[in-house]
Amino acid sequence: MLDTLTEVEATGRFILAALLGALIGFDRERMNKAAGIRTHMLVAMGAALFMVGTQLFIQDLSADTIDPSPLRLDPVAVIAGIVTGVGFIGAGQIFHDRGNVQGLTSAAGIWATAGIGMLVGMGHYVVPVIATLLVFLIIAVLARFDLAPDATPETGSGSPGAAHEEPR
């Protein structure tokens, strides 16, 4: 049986999810990416909202005198819906221009942020905080080790053979 979720705890979950999303979005904002602090906050909080809403819905049904047995209560379907929906948001961040793909890191960050928000919405706190720190390190710190798109070791200018590629 699920513990009863209070509105105070639900609010705390939304706030924590938004703060964790802000940390991930901070570097994207600093790098002038389209998906910055606000986007990551909204994705994390939105994912938490759907998870909390699912738990509250199940609570409400179990408290009612209505027989919920004909209903299919599947929180996993909610998770799948969030992952699919966020995938569309992430896909909107990716674009291809003359052999150069951009936006993959932002899309992956949005996807990870949704997972973090879902965990917070489910009432888990340690794992999403650690995941947030790891995502932030991956995005902010490891970016310093990336090669600039116009300076690969093989050619010194773009991807190998980039000068000979035809735009599609």
Show the tokens assigned to 98: 């003359």
Say how many CA atoms lie within 13 Å of 46 toward its Cβ. Answer: 16
pLDDT in tens, the chain (168 residues): 457 899 899 999 999 999 999 999 998 898 888 889 999 999 999 999 999 998 888 888 777 656 666 666 788 889 999 999 998 888 888 888 888 888 888 899 999 999 999 999 999 999 999 999 999 999 988 888 876 555 444 444 444 444 433 343
Any domain includes 111: yes
* Residue-level pLDDT at 166: 39
Residue 38 forms part of a structural domain? yes
Q: What CA–CA distance (Å, rounded) separates 24 from 73?
A: 32
d(CA 99, CA 18): 35
Residues facing residue 11 across a β-bridge: none
Residue ranges in the chain assigned as alpha helix (H): 7-30, 37-63, 75-91, 104-121, 126-136
What range does the domain containing 15 cover? 7-164
CB 105 within 8 A of CB 95: no
The pLDDT of residue 115:
96
Q: What local confidence, expressed as pLDDT, does residue 165 receive? A: 37
Please check whether residue 144 lies inside any domain of the structure: yes
Residue 160 pLDDT? 43
Please state the domain count of the chain: 1
pLDDT of residue 8: 93
What pLDDT shows up at residue 2?
54
Cα angle, residue 112 at apex, residues 48 and 46 outer, rounded to 5°:
25
pLDDT attached to residue 124 = 96
User: Quick check: pTM over 0.95?
Assistant: no
> What is the predicted pLDDT for the residue at 154?
42
2 belongs to a structural domain: no
Q: Is 1 inside any structural domain?
A: no
Q: Is residue 78 part of a domain?
A: yes
